[in-house]
Amino acid sequence: MLSLPAIYDKIMANLEDHQKGKKNMLHENNTIEEVKNEVLYHVAKAAFEGTLDKIEATLPYEILPGNKPSFRCCVYKEREIVRERIMLAKNINPLDGEPCHNTVKIIPAACENCPITRFTVTDNCQKCMSKKCMQACRFGAITMTRDKAYIDPDKCKECGQCYDACPYNAIVDIMRPCRRACPVDAIQAGEDGRVRIDDEKCIRCGSCISGCPFGAISDSSRMLEVIDYLKGDRPVYALVAPAAEGQFGVDITMESIRNGVKKLGFKNMVDVAIGADFVSDSEAQEWAEAYNDGKKMTTSCCPAFVHLIRRHFPELAGHISTTVSPMAATARLVKAMDKDAVCIFIGPCIAKKSEAGQDQENPGDNAELVLTFEEFQAMLRAKGIKLEPCALEEEQRGSIHAKRYSNSGGVTKAVKQALMEQGVNTGVNVRQCNGAAECRKALMLLKAGKLPEDFIEGMACEGGCVAGPGNIQEEKAFKRERDKQLKKADDRLIQDTLSAYSQYEFSMHRGSGEA
Confidence of residue 19 (pLDDT cuts 50, 70, 90): very low
Nearest Cα residue to 246 out of 490, 483, 489, 487:
483
Question: According to the model, what pLDDT value does residue 480 have?
Answer: 83
pLDDT at 4 over 80: no
Q: Which of 264, 253, 490, 496 is nearest to 394 (CA)?
A: 253
Give CA–CA dist 84/13, Å, rounded. Answer: 27
9's enclosing H/E stretch is: helix 4-20
Burial of 318 (0-12, 13-18, 19+ CB in 10 A): exposed
3-state class (DSSP) for residue 371: strand
Mean pLDDT of 261-274: 97
Percent of the chain with pLDDT over 90: 77
pLDDT given for residue 13 in this prediction: 46
Tell me the pTM. Answer: 0.89
| Selected residue with higher pLDDT from 515 and 423 | 423
Q: Is the pLDDT of residue 360 over 90?
A: no
What share of the chain has pLDDT > 70, as a percent? Answer: 92
**How many Cα atoms within 13 Å fall on the side-chain side of residue 400?**
11
Q: pLDDT tens across 420-439, in order? A: 999 997 788 999 999 999 99
Using CB atoms within 10 Å of the CB of residue 244, give its burial: 0 to 12 exposed, 13 to 18 middle, 19+ buried.
buried
Q: Cα–Cα distance between 475 and 36 in angstroms, integer?
A: 19
With a cut of 80, say whether residue 17 has pLDDT above it. no
The boundaries of every CATH 3.30.70.20 domain in the chain are 119-175
Q: Confidence class of residue 92 from pLDDT cuts 50, 70 and 90? A: very high
Three-state secondary structure call for residue 84: helix
Cα distances (angstroms) measured from residue 404 to each of 2, 298, 401, 411, 438:
60, 18, 5, 8, 20
Q: Tell me, what's the pLDDT at 24?
A: 59
pLDDT of 461 higher than 80: yes
* Model confidence at 305: pLDDT above 70: yes
Confidence at residue 251, expressed as pLDDT on a 0 to 100 scale: 86
Domain covering 119-175, topology: Alpha-Beta Plaits (3.30.70)
What are the CA-CA distances from residue 233 to residues 236, 340, 405 (Å)? 9, 10, 33
Q: How far apart are CA 165 and CA 135, in angstroms?
A: 9
- Amino acid in the structure at residue 28: E
Backbone angles phi, psi at 343, to 5 degrees: -110, 125
Is the pLDDT confidence value at 237 over 50?
yes
| Closest to 486 in 3D by CA, of 414, 418, 396, 421 | 396
pLDDT tier for residue 5 given thresholds of 50, 70 and 90: very low
> Maximum distance among all alpha carbons in the chain?
84
Kindly tell me if the per-residue pLDDT of 146 is higher than 50.
Answer: yes
- What mean pLDDT do residues 86-99 have? 94
Average pLDDT, the chain: 90
Q: Residue 513: is its pLDDT beyond 60?
A: no
DSSP label at 24? G
pLDDT(8) > 90: no
Q: Which alpha helices (H) appear in 453-493, and where do they start and end?
A: 475-486
pLDDT score, position 127: 93
- Indicate if the pLDDT at residue 135 is higher than 50: yes
